[in-house]
A and B are shown apart, each in its own frame.
Chain A
């Protein structure tokens, strides 16, 4: 059974006329890494957010299944506790809430859903501090409010910190690699590679071949006009680097 199955979805901004996603299908098996590439405005972030359940979007047709369960009508928090994680392109700033406190609440919510015992403060602190080291986040940041005054790269690292601690089944990463310096990019790649397992899958939205040099995807999809117009293996990403999207845009327009 696929871990994620997206069947012919159409999605739009709530109450808007025009659909952004127009008949998109995608199937990801456990253990696979998929990359999604596509021009600006083609619907990549919309797809990522529709998967995560952002209330601004509505699914007008099609369905989304996570490990066989139809999650199309579930709230964002209900999807998250089931193991779906979105690393945001633009993570929100949360005044007065420290990263530790935020993640503890998150870990507790997941434990509660699973009917597991919550981690004690000391146990969780250990997990947290270990992850802070591995993600190479400046420990000073965890004393501040979450994401407040973090640099672009620091925000991205913080998303990886959360992904690492929450251990989701499906990791959707929306341009985590954009705006990262070389060291940070390598850290992100190392985290993804370290988390790869036969049960866990990744959907990586990116504009650049660069990250895919470090994290070899099983599949690469090209998203144009709210639809996947071409799928292939990692070779496709390399070709794109040379040819650009033009020919796919023509295909999409002709279809």
Chain B
């Protein structure tokens, strides 16, 4: 028995009981707490495909307590560790608590704010969608998040609204003296034929404290909605992060997403898309970089339930030290989802003999006339290539870094927001010395 599972009745239960949340969120919380008692624990991995390659016991054995609101960092400090653009609408949460001083008011036609203080009319709109996207009430960590749902961000993009200004959902972990957990929560409703952009980022203020972010983000894309989405996971190397993204697609909607993950000791990028209307398209790409003893798990699934859908998964991993990564990409094409196009790719660059990746793209097809492709590679740095570069005067370290940048470029270059691209480049550059080449002897 682990601390978290025991915590259903132990100290975690105390945090649950003590939590004060807005009344309108209570039914969802109580329901989740109930269901949590029966949900399969992710630390019991036998026969549990979803957690086959990731041992979460180092996470579940930590006595994580709910983070309370503390002192806020200054804006200058935040800009040093997080992506920032004054032109974005930013909603900042520190340890799960809304930080007005670090947030900006939405402009234009987009409505954005806190779940806790949503007006009655917004509440009724949100209630119809909150915790409703795709099997969110069957999984341990998403249930845990909902059980502790006291605040979070909502964004509502009205029908036909075209919003150039990106909405930034920034979740900061402040320095902790004992292990702390936050359950960041976001709900986005993109109206019919609307266009909008989102940056979701997770960062730590301290380099070496231990915290756990158990995040859930739900997107509902109504007919014809187009969303550009970025997910930045840059928490510190001792932290644990379980990130759940759920995207519900109605007809002809399109979701383009890039995730960039570095940082945590154990990280999970759990992304599920549901194609629930004909002609919808979901393009998911990502870059994960792990070193030392880090573990990064990408669990990406797309369920095609309606015809003429398109899904693309394009992920790249760079692994050094004794780190491990997982890519489980699943595309399910349900009966009737004819003329589906699906492509899955996961490419990995290994810098050391101790780095390991389990990459499992898979397809389950029950429909007709579909085009599905998948592929995965994991290769060590090519020594002939390195020699070629060195023969031009570029030293081993510089050559290795150039190869890493080159490998990452294909994903990084897809970032369309200049401030975000600069941030990702900066973070990558800072990390590069940790990505050393180790040649097997």
A residues in contact (CB < 8 Å) with B? 52-56, 75-77, 79-81, 85-86, 88, 91-97, 101-103, 105-106, 109-110, 113, 145, 162, 166
Contact = CB atoms under 8 A, between A and B. Distances in A.
Interface in B402-441: 402-403, 405-410
A75 to B, nearest CB: 7
A52 to B, nearest CB: 5
Given A92-B384, A92-B385, A93-B385, A80 B406 contact: no
Contact of B406 (A81, A88, A95, A162): A95
A96 B318 CA distance: 14
A109 B394 contact: yes
Contacts of B410: 96
A196 B68 CA distance: 74
Given A93-B385, A95-B407, A96-B408, A76 B402 contact: no
A80 B391 contact: yes
B388 A75 contact: no
A102 B392 contact: yes
15 contacts: A55-B387, A77-B390, A77-B396, A77-B399, A80-B393, A94-B406, A95-B406, A96-B403, A96-B410, A102-B389, A102-B394, A103-B392, A105-B394, A109-B394, A109-B395
Contacts of B406: 94-97, 145
Most central of B387, B392, B393, B395 by chain A CB within 10 Å = B393
B332 to A, nearest CB: 32
Given A55-B387, A96-B410, A106 B405 contact: no
B161 interface: no
Contacts of B390: 53, 75-77, 80
Given A76-B391, A95-B407, A96-B407, 17 more contacts: A56-B387, A75-B390, A76-B387, A77-B391, A77-B393, A77-B395, A79-B391, A86-B391, A92-B382, A94-B385, A94-B388, A94-B389, A96-B405, A97-B402, A106-B394, A113-B393, A162-B392
B407 to A, nearest CB: 6
The 9 closest A-B pairs by CB, nearest first: A96-B406, A80-B393, A92-B388, A109-B393, A76-B390, A106-B392, A96-B409, A97-B406, A92-B385
Interface of B: 382-385, 387-396, 398-399, 402-403, 405-410
A106 B409 CA distance: 20
Contacts of A97: 402-403, 405-406
A86 B410 CA distance: 29
Query: By CB atoms of chain A within 10 A, which of B402, B403, B406, B407 has the most?
Result: B406
Nearest to A106: B392
Count chain A CB atoms within 10 A of each CB in B385, B398, B407, B408 and give the residue with the most: B385
Nearest to A82: B393
Contacts of A109: 392-395, 398
Most chain A beta-carbon contacts within 10 A, residue among B387, B396, B399, B409: B387
Nearest to B406: A96
Contacts of A85: 391
A94 B349 CA distance: 13
Contacts of B391: 52-54, 76-77, 79-80, 85-86, 88
Nearest to B384: A92
A88 B407 CA distance: 23
A85 B410 CA distance: 30
B396 A105 contact: no
A75 B392 CA distance: 11
Name the residue among B390, B402, B403 with the largest chain A CB count within 10 angstroms.
Answer: B390
A54 B390 CA distance: 9
B398 A105 contact: yes
Nearest to A76: B390
Contacts of A79: 391
A81 B398 CA distance: 14
A89 to B, nearest CB: 12
Nearest to A54: B387
Contacts of A145: 406
A105 B399 CA distance: 9
A95 to B, nearest CB: 5
A93 B390 CA distance: 14
Contacts of A56: 387
A8 B384 CA distance: 27
Contacts of B389: 92, 94, 102
A103 B402 CA distance: 12
A92 B391 CA distance: 11
Contacts of B399: 77
Contacts of A162: 392
Given A102-B402, A106-B393, A91 B407 contact: no
B307 to A, nearest CB: 36
Contacts of B395: 75, 77, 109
A55 B384 CA distance: 10
B280 to A, nearest CB: 31
A102 B388 CA distance: 11
A110 B393 CA distance: 7
Contacts of B409: 96
A245 to B, nearest CB: 29
Nearest to B404: A96
A170 B410 CA distance: 36
A81 B393 contact: yes
Nearest to A84: B391
Nearest to B392: A106
Contacts of A91: 388
Contacts of B394: 77, 102, 105-106, 109
A99 B10 CA distance: 61
B220 to A, nearest CB: 36
B379 to A, nearest CB: 11
Contacts of A75: 390, 395-396
Which of A52, A94, A101 gathers the greatest number of chain B CB atoms within 10 Å?
A94
A86 B383 CA distance: 17
Nearest to A112: B393
